[in-house]
Amino acid sequence: MTDTVKPTVRPPHANAALVLHDGDVYWGVGAGAPGAAVGEVCFNTSITGYQEILTDPSYAGQIITFTFPHVGNVGTNAEDIETITPAARGCILGAAITEPSNWRAAKHLDEWLRSFGLCALTGVDTRRLTRRIRDGGAPNGALIYAADGDVDLEAAFRMARDWPGLEGMDLAKDVTCHQTSTWDETTWALGRGYGRETRPRHHVVAVDYGAKRNILRCLAAAGCRVTVVTGTSTAADVLALNPDGVFLSNGPGDPAATGEYAVPMIRELMKKEDLPIFGICLGHQMLGLALGGRTRKMHLGHRGANHPVKDLATGKVEITSQNHGFMVEADSLPTGVVETHVSLFDGSNEGLKLEGRPVFSVQYHPEASPGPQDSHHLFTRFIDLIDARVSDRKR
C-alpha cells in the first residue's frame, strides 16, 4: 500500500479529482457543489434514470461512476426521486453534464446537484475507471472539487486511505425514516402523474431500511394501505399494527451489520407461520441471514438495468435492475430454504423462498423506474399470498 499519491500530470483547466486509496488519481472538471466526499467508488451501467439512481438510498456511502456518456440530457424534476435527500456521496461522469432537452425538465442537473451539496467530477475516462473497478474491485476513493483550482491531492488521498469501507458498516440507520407514517401514493402515469390508493384491500407494513419510493408506490398500486416503520422497529411494533403482510425494504451497507437488530426481528415475525413476508435487496439479504444463511461482500457488485436473472422454477429469464454490493451465499442456505433465482452474469443468488410458507425475497429491484418491468409480477405474487391468508382466516 502506497503512502502517498502516485505521480500524475494535471491537465489544463482541471479543478477536481478523484483519488483512490492506492494513490491513483483521476483528474477532471468539477460540477455540482465544490467540496470533498469520500466513499466506495462503484459504477452503474444504466443508460436512463440518473436522478433515480442518485436518490436511491441504497447508494449511501458510495460515489457513483456513470458509464453512459450523456448524463443530464433529460434534466431533473421533483417527481423522479426515490427519497427527498440523496444518500450518494457524489458522482463521476465521462463528459460535461449534458444540457437538458426534455419537456419534464425543471432543473439542470448541475443546479440540482448544487442544491443538495453534492459534488461531481466530469471529463474522466470512465472506461478506464470502470475497468479498474471491474478488475480490482470497488475501491475507496475521495472526490475533491475546488472552484479556485486549489486541489489538495494528499488530503484527498488520506481521506480515501483512512475511510473504513462498507464491510461491517450499518448504513440503514442513517437512511431509515424517523417515525411511523402511512403511504398511499401509487405509480406514475403520463398525463396524470402519481395517483392515490383510496380503496385499499390489504394492509402491508413496510420496514424501511432505506426504501425506494417506487417500491412503496407499487405496493399501494397493488391495492395496499402501506404503513412505513423504521428499520429499528421490533417485531412487537410491527405486529401491533395488525398487518396482512410485511415488506422488508432495500437499503445500503453491510447486511450482517444491519442484521444485528433486524435479523432477530425478522425471526420473531416468522414465528407467525401464516404471515406473508416479501423482501427486496437488503431485505432479501437479511431474510437470508434470518433463515440461517450467510452473506458476503462481492468483488464489485451488480449495478445497472440490464441484468439477466433466471427463475429456476419456470426457466424464464427476466431482465432486471440491480444495485447491491453484498450477496447471499446460496450454499449456506439450510434445508427448507430454496434458491429461486440466479444471475446469468455470475451465477450468484438472486432469490429465495421458505418451503411451505408465504415467505420469499429477491436480490434485484422489480419496481425499477425507469427500468425493465419484467419482474413487476412479484408484487402480484405477494398480494396473492395475502389474499390466500385472508381467505383462510375467513373460513
Other CB atoms within 10 A of residue 164 CB:
8
Taking a C-beta distance cutoff of 8 angstroms, is the pair 52, 82 a contact? yes
Q: Which of the following is catalytic: 40, 52, 197, 367?
A: 367
CA 14 to chain CA centroid, Å, is 31
* HEC sequence for 258-284: HHHHHHHHHHHHCCCCCCCEEEECHHH
Q: Which three cell numbers stand for residue 190?
A: 403520463
Taking a C-beta distance cutoff of 8 angstroms, is the pair 29, 12 a contact? no
Report how far residue 144's alpha carbon sits from residue 133's, in angstroms, rounded to the nearest whole number: 19
Q: Which three cell numbers stand for residue 239?
A: 405486529
Q: Is 281 annotated as catalytic?
A: yes
Q: Is the peptide bond preceding residue 370 cis, with omega within 30 degrees of 0?
A: yes
Report how far residue 220's alpha carbon sits from residue 186's, in angstroms, rounded to the nearest whole number: 5
Rounded to 5 degrees, what are φ and ψ at 275?
-80, 115
Report how far residue 89's alpha carbon sits from residue 63's, in angstroms, rounded to the nearest whole number: 5
* DSSP letter for each residue of 379-391: HHHHHHHHHHHHH
Q: Which of the following is catalytic: 281, 302, 324, 350?
A: 281
Report how far residue 235's alpha carbon sits from residue 246's, in angstroms, rounded to the nearest whole number: 10
Q: How many CA atoms lie within 13 A of 387 on its CB side?
A: 9
Q: Is 260 annotated as catalytic?
A: no
Q: How many CA atoms lie within 13 A of 247 on its CB side?
A: 32
Taking a C-beta distance cutoff of 8 angstroms, is the pair 236, 350 a contact? no
Active-site amino acid positions:
281, 365, 367
